[in-house]
């Protein structure tokens, strides 16, 4: 029961990456793995999960985790400008993840995209095809 509540809290802290992991049946196992490393606070679990997922074999999971971690950093006041490489259109991925009725689990590589994140971008980010 404790793990259930931790997963729920981490989903609130990192909703995009957690939703993709949930749809792929990996969320609970990934949160449990991070917790097993001795991390207890929800914010730390979410940050560690995003850090871990940036090195995932799945390029969409890796790009999404890097993007979400950077968006959180910028929302907290970071002044930097960041660029994250994607193998597919990140706008499509974000739209599908926000759509609770979507059944899309896999995103095929299309063309390289650059996902720019900065407080100076309208809406904090901008995606462009490379």
Confidence at residue 107, expressed as pLDDT on a 0 to 100 scale: 78
Q: Which of 103, 56, 63, 111 is nearest to 85 (CA)?
A: 63
Encode pLDDT of 12-69 as tens digits. Answer: 999 999 999 999 999 999 999 999 998 888 889 999 999 999 999 999 999 999 999 9
Confidence at residue 67, expressed as pLDDT on a 0 to 100 scale: 96
Q: What is the DSSP letter of 77?
A: T
DSSP 3-state assignment of 29? helix
Encode pLDDT of 64-111 as tens digits. Answer: 999 999 999 999 999 999 999 999 999 989 988 888 777 666 777 788
């Amino acid at each position: 029961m404790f793990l259930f509540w931790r997963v729920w809290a981490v989903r609130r802290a990192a909703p995009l990456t957690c939703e993709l992991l949930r749809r792929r049946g990996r969320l609970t196992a990934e949160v449990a793995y991070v917790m097993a490393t001795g991390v207890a606070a929800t914010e730390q679990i979410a940050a560690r999960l995003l850090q871990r997922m940036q090195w995932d074999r799945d390029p969409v999971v890796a790009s999404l985790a890097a993007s979400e971690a950077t968006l959180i950093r910028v929302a907290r006041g970071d002044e930097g400008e960041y660029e994250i490489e994607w193998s597919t259109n990140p706008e499509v991925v974000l739209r599908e993840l926000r759509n609770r009725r979507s059944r899309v689990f896999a995103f095929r590589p299309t063309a390289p995209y650059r996902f720019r994140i900065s407080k100076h971008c309208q809406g904090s980010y901008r995606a462009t095809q490379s």
